[in-house]
């Protein structure tokens, strides 16, 4: 039943942030009627980019064992419209789960996707840790060099950079990520990470509100059970695992009443143009 997925919602957004629970609950629950569009596996320490059309569902699947995915997305037709982690944190929370949405950057500001099924259902642990993280960002070779002195080409930033190259995008298009299957929190105002609680068969599923280009890096930190940096740092290769991706087309009748959301209709011009009658 759809209601099972939605009883877990940590909070109930209202007003312009409200989501149609019945609609997204049905999309997440009715798996038998969807048609598989594409399925692939992303090997360890690599990246992959793929389109998800508006109205399609996409699942990121734990195929072998726990592994963190660093996720980026763009409007498929306009890479300036991309996922905005900071605003999403404010509107949805610092961690996202079923019923939350990822919002796009200015001047667009619309939901790019809605999460329809998070099977991890981690909740809140004793340290205040939660899963699917927006607090942190991707690992990158610049901070890696800063902290370790080493050159390393398979950080998430680099994996994403290689992944989007076929779409003529560069590292300047890589942005702050959603860390899927990653548990984080703040303690004494310091960011902490924990080993991923995801198990084989777990999935993080979302509905594309607009045509998307999605990209994932299978983090070289693997399941984050061994620190990449710091005094306890070790070789994380043994805890790196591949992740699966599946794209589905739900039947038209399940999409009845839904329409792709428009970009913001703000037309004020930031006060750059004088208005008749002064400030209005």
Footprint of Zn ion (CB under 5 A): 139, 156, 219
Rounded CA separation 241/234 (Å): 16
Rounded CA separation 32/38 (Å): 16
What DSSP assignment string belongs to 192-261? EEE-----TT-EEEEEESS-EEEEEEE-TTTTSSS-SSSTT----GGG---EEEEEEE--GGGGTT--PP
Rounded CA separation 219/264 (Å): 33
Tokens at residue 54, please? Answer: 């508006």
Closest separation between CB of residue 154 and Zn ion, Å? Answer: 9
Closest separation between CB of residue 219 and Zn ion, Å? Answer: 3
Burial of 4 (0-12, 13-18, 19+ CB in 10 A): exposed
Q: Which is nearer to Zn ion, 111 or 136 (CB)?
A: 136
Closest separation between CB of residue 159 and Zn ion, Å? Answer: 8
Q: Which is nearer to Zn ion, 155 or 213 (CB)?
A: 155
Q: With residue 70 as reference, give the H or E element that holds it.
A: strand 69-75
**Which among 8, 26, 218 has a CA at the least distance from the CA of 96?**
8
Rounded CA separation 112/53 (Å): 11
Say if CB 225 and CB 58 are below 8 A apart: no
Closest separation between CB of residue 48 and Zn ion, Å? Answer: 14
Closest separation between CB of residue 195 and Zn ion, Å? Answer: 14
Rounded CA separation 85/103 (Å): 8
Closest separation between CB of residue 119 and Zn ion, Å? Answer: 22
Q: Which is nearer to Zn ion, 213 or 219 (CB)?
A: 219
Rounded CA separation 24/228 (Å): 37
Closest separation between CB of residue 96 and Zn ion, Å? Answer: 18
């Amino acid at each position: 039943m759809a209601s099972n997925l939605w009883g877990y919602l940590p909070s109930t957004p209202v007003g312009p942030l409200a989501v149609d629970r019945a609609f997204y609950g049905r999309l997440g629950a009715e798996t038998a009627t969807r048609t598989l569009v594409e399925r692939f596996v992303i090997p360890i320490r690599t990246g992959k980019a793929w389109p998800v059309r508006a109205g399609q569902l996409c699942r990121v699947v734990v195929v072998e064992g726990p592994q963190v995915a660093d996720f980026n997305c763009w409007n498929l037709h306009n890479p300036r419209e991309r996922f905005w982690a900071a605003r999403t944190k404010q509107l949805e929370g610092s961690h996202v789960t079923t019923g939350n949405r990822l919002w796009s950057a200015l001047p667009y500001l619309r939901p790019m996707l809605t999460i329809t099924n998070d099977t991890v259902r981690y909740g809140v642990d004793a340290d205040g840790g939660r899963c699917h993280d927006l607090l942190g960002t991707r690992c990158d070779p610049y901070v890696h060099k800063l902290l370790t002195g080493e050159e390393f080409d398979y950080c998430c930033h680099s994996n994403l950079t290689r992944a989007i190259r076929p779409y003529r995008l560069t590292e300047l298009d890589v942005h702050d990520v959603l860390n899927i299957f990653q548990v984080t929190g703040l303690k004494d105002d310091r960011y902490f990470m924990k080993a991923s609680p995801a198990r084989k068969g777990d999935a993080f599923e979302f509905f594309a509100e607009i045509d998307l280009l999605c990209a994932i890096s299978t983090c070289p930190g693997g399941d984050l059970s061994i620190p990449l940096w710091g005094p306890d740092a070790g070789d994380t290769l043994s805890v790196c695992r591949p992740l699966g991706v599946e794209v589905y087309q739900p039947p038209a009748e399940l999409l009845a009443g839904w329409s792709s959301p428009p970009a913001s209709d703000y037309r004020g011009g930031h006060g750059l143009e004088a208005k008749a009658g002064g400030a209005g």
